[in-house]
Amino acid sequence: MPIAHEFEYAKPETIEEAVGILDKHGSGAQVLAGGTDIVPGLRDGLMKPGLVVDIKGIAGLAGIEHRGNVLRVGALATFTDLIESELVQERVPLLYEMAMTVASVGVRNRATITGNICSAVPSCDSGPVLLVHDASIDVTGPDGKRVIPIAEWFTGPKTTALGSAEIVTSVSLPVPQGDHGAAYVKLGRYRGEDLAQASVAVLALPDNEYRVAFGAVAPTPVCAPGIEKLLRGKVIDDALIDDAKKLVAKETAPIADIRASREYREHMLPIMLERGLRAAAARLGGKGPQYGATLI
């Protein structure tokens, strides 16, 4: 790989050391975990950090664990780790289904869910899934530890609430209690490595409570409170789905870009929502397609 420009490199052994390096350096530093964003960025000259801080050697940032009613995904856990985790498959299968759609096997072997949300592109696959699960982001910085709700994480295209000297240590997801069903519907130009043209995450909970979020159709991944309010306490049927589809335009603001036109996204979103709702409702009832099955 050609080096577009020179930069300093540090590989700290502790999170405190890493934070200290970032705090001392100031802006212009880039944290390296999986590297699937920063390496192409360096190669193409799109990223020009003065310092790269490699956190792969920090103990305690890897792994997936279930404590109490919370699933904790370490900052170095890859999408392949999510796919292969029995905890994820059993406790939060929506996370598994989403991970199966990310890029290619090679990318999934390196890319991390924390890197995905730190890149904060509107089409990031993790965003809608973390939103419907009401996840939180655990970070450490010069002032200590803090927790950022996922609803406050995305502040704009490619921007987040993370401070310049802060590092994400894990993502925490409350595990739904009792039976639940979910679905992640991702629209791409072809099967294989591609960013989402649009995406929908649906979480179906007992008592007919539904959570819905969209990706790639607004400046950030977004929840759909209007649709959730409409669905609350009601049994999914054809008439209710038709009413929900009519609200999609109020919950999203798609644009035209290299991957799809605005009109195409507007046309496909109601179809994706319907398939997501039907799959999630069926899975809640112990039926429906297996998680990981293509829904579109």
| pTM score, whole prediction | 0.96
Please tell me whether residues 41 and 70 are part of one structural domain: no
Distance CA 271, CA 53 (A): 43
| Amino acid 296: pLDDT | 87
Is 235 part of a structural domain of the chain? yes
| Amino acid 3: pLDDT | 61
- C-beta of residue 96 within 8 angstroms of C-beta of residue 103: no
| Domain final residue, candidates 119, 140, 174 | 174
| Amino acid 28: pLDDT | 85
Pairing, β 70-74 against β 64-67? antiparallel
For the chain, which ranges sit under pLDDT 70? 1-4, 191-193
Distance CA 32, CA 9 (A): 10
**Which residue range forms the structural domain that includes residue 154?**
64-174
Output the domain CATH number for residue 126: 3.30.465.10
Is 3 part of a structural domain of the chain? no
Report the domain count for the chain: 3
Comparing CA positions, the residue from 90, 83, 98 lying closest to residue 129 is: 98
Please tell me whether residues 70 and 168 are part of one structural domain: yes
- Number of Cβ within 10 Å of residue 143's Cβ equals 11
Q: What share of the chain is helix, strand, coil (3-state, %, to 5)?
A: 35, 25, 40
Model pLDDT for residues 38-76, shown as the tens digit of each residue: 988 888 888 999 999 999 999 999 999 999 999 999 999
Is 296 part of a structural domain of the chain? no
DSSP symbols for 238-257:
HHHHHHHHHTHHHH------
Please tell me whether residues 98 and 169 are part of one structural domain: yes
